[in-house]
Structure formats: structure tokens, C-alpha cells
Structure 1
Amino acid sequence: MNILIVEDELPARDLLKAGLAEVWPQARLVGECASIAETLAFFQSQTSVDLAFFDIRLSDGLSFEIFRQFPVHIPVIFLSAYDQYLLEAFHTNSIDYLLKPLKTEQLRTALGKYEQLKSHFLLQLPQLLQHLQAPQAYKTRFLAEKGGDYFPIDIADIAYFFSEYKLCFIMTFSGTRYLVEKSLAALEAELDPAVFRRANRQVIVSNRAVKRISSVSKSKLLLELQPSPPFEVLVSQEGAAGFKVWVGG
């Protein structure tokens, strides 16, 4: 476990190192810095660090300035003789804030918190990686109802989905309407966003169904769909630009 200490007072630094040797003997000290400038130079060296201890008041300013000048991605335990910086500390990478003079039990508790956080995220990592690596599976077929019978409808045959009287329907390119037992919100989550897009609260359209786009009042869009629906399909001013980009691919 690689440790960085940022502390401009030698007695405080020695006290911390002694505490680490007692509480966490497996720790390996890879850097000691006494100023903002030294710390920035250390980070630019790209030395691997797992955990850092930062004194807040350094010889050339507050250590928060380091975070403003360099993307620090490691967890940090802050050390200070004052509690006035507590809130600002937790706006950075802080996992704990220890008041000086440092006590061994404080250090032990802070390191225990680090280990708990580390264990938690290591346990979650396989699931996270699996989620990130697994391609999104979109629906390729829907089971829809017409006249009391159910029919599998391939996604390539669907021109748009629409809601009417609190029911949701599929309209195929052949002009046949089917009832589907899902809400538009549920359907939207199952559809490939490269192919289907929510035009408004009432309609989700396939890009293949859009035959013409006309500008109307207040920069709204009027869509001409094929087959033609029995109502106007308008895209709001807020959604107009994104919709045109989507249709254009």
C-alpha cells in the first residue's frame, strides 16, 4: 500500500510516520512533500499512490489549491489543528478529517474506514465491469394483441408506438394497429435509441417512419409519418434540435 504524506511541519510528519508504523506496518511511504509546489511536482511524476495524508495549511498556501490545479483521484485523509476547513475538505477526495495533535486511535479509525471503503468497491467491481462490458440488449420483437388474438411483431415492422385513452398501441409500416400491454416509458427503455425516439408524450417513432419535418410556430417541428397517424405529431421547441440530429444520423 503506497502512502503519500503532505505536511510542512517536521514534528507532525514524524508523528504521522510513527503512527503508521504502529497501526499499518505494511504501508510503504512513497513520497513526502512540504508545499503545494512539491506536491504538484510529485503528482506529475506519476508515482503510484493508494492513499494520501494532507495537512491543510502548507508553507505556500492551503492544500486545497492542489486539487484546483491537478486532477487528484486518490482518497485523502486531511490533517489540521483547526476544524474550520471541515466542509471544504469533504468537497474534495476526503474520506476523513483528523485534528492535530494526531492520536493513534484516530489514525486507526481513519485507516479502518479506508479499508472498509476499499473492500466495498472491490466487491462491487466485478458487477460493475460486467455491467459496463455487457452490450445493451434491445427488444427485437413484441407480442401485441388484435381482436383478442396475440401476434409477434418484429421490431423492423414497427413504424411507431403511440398512446391513446391511456392505452398503448403499435402501428406497423403496413398500417395495422395492435394493442401492446406496456406504457410508453417502459417501451422507450427497451428500444434502441439509434432507431426509435420519443417525439412527444404521445408518440415514439422509428427513424424510418419520418417522411418529412416541417417547422411550425415557436420553432416546433411537425412530423409527417408513414403510415399517417390520425393526429398531429409535434416535437417541442426544446426537443427540436436533438430530434433533427437524430433523424440525420
Structure 2
Amino acid sequence: MVAPNAVTAMALCFGLTGVRYGISGEWERAVLSILFAGVLDGLDGRIARLLRGESRFGAELDSLSDSIAFGVAPALILYLWSLHAMPKFGWIFALAHALSCALRLARFNANIDVDVQPHKSAGFLTGVPAPAGAGLAFVPLYLWLVTGEDIFRAWYVVAPWAAFIAFLMISNIATYTWSALRLRKRIRLEAIALAGLLAALLVTDPWLTLLLICGLYVALIPFGILSYAKVRRQREAAADPAA
């Protein structure tokens, strides 16, 4: 249990470190801290399964870490970077992100022991996961870092986008997981090559690459909704012999 929970604790610390960099105005380091927390969050569960160190304590710690690293920390960074300039309501939009992340994680915890989970059993998630929500919330910041244009830092651009991502996190829409994206055998080598090139792009031009990844993720959301609707229709047909 020690190894996966230590990785979860590291993710939490990286999320809070992002706030520290945000306070000092080091925006690139602030965002990279949150993104690295997301990488660690993706590893802790796999490490737990590999070492057979899964526990209820680890699940609770993971949710608390996610709430801070991908809810509170991005909300504070966005507020310090842009939303503080919004008259009266800037803090409300920052709170919306943190609150939506906490509500999403609470819903996830409440459903851990539920036997019937239609989205999960079909290989889908319910809403946008917390790490992805944090990454998507920073899209205006990525654009600002790439272009240097202050329009992307304006509160009237950042606030609606933050509200949109907050909605996606607590929504009931079906979104893809890695298990839902099953690759055909004839394109697996190409997928491996693409992953290698993507890693090189992240090192060469991280902000433009992150924009492309976020754009692809958002573009896949409607396809996830349609794919799950097809699965649901097939289940209903199988459950109703008359149909």
C-alpha cells in the first residue's frame, strides 16, 4: 500500500506547488506542476493494481488529492492569472471549478460499491474526469503562452470557458476511457509511433501540443456520447426479446 499512496501524496503536493508558482506569477511552472500531478494520478492506480496494494484508504486519499490538485489548485491559478480582474464575480467562477470537481469526485466515491454502473460497464466515464478537467480549464492560458495575446487572459474569455469545463465535469455525458478506445491490430504500430512523436512534441513545444491534445479531447466528446447511445440501444434490444 505504501508505494501507490506515496505517489498519490506526491500528486497532491505537486498540485499545491502549482498554487505556489501561481502566487509568484510563474505561470508556466504553475501549469506544469498541475500537469505533472495528472501524470502521477494516472500512475498511482496502476501501481496499486500491479503491487496488489489496492485499499479503501488509497481510494479515499486519491479522491482528496484529486480534489485539491485538480479542483482547488487550478481554480486558484485561474483566479490569480485572470479572474481576479472580473468585477464582483471572478471568484465565483473560480469556485465553480473547485466545487464541480469536488461534486464529481463525491459522486464517484458514492458509486464505488454500486453494482450497476452502465457507463463503467460499457468502458465509459460519467462526465469529464478531474485531471482532464484541470487540463482543459487551462486552454486560455495555453493560448496566451503560445500567442502572447492578452485577449486570452481577459476575464470575459476565461470565465465562460471555466464555467463550461465545470459543467462537463459534473455532467452525465459518457466520455471515453483508455479501455473504450480499442485499437485494431493493423494500426497498433502506428499508434505506438504516434505516442513517441507526441512525447517529443511535448518536449519541443509543450503549449501548442497541449492545445492540440485538448482540442482532440473536446472533439471526441460528441463521439463518446454517440458511441454510448449505440451501446445503450443494443442493451435495450437484448433485454427486450420482442424488440
Please report the TM-score for the alignment, with normalisation by the length of structure 1.
Answer: 0.24
- The structure whose residues are more often strand, as a share, is 1
Q: Which structure ranks higher in relative contact order (CA pairs < 8 Å, sequence separation ≥ 6)?
A: 2
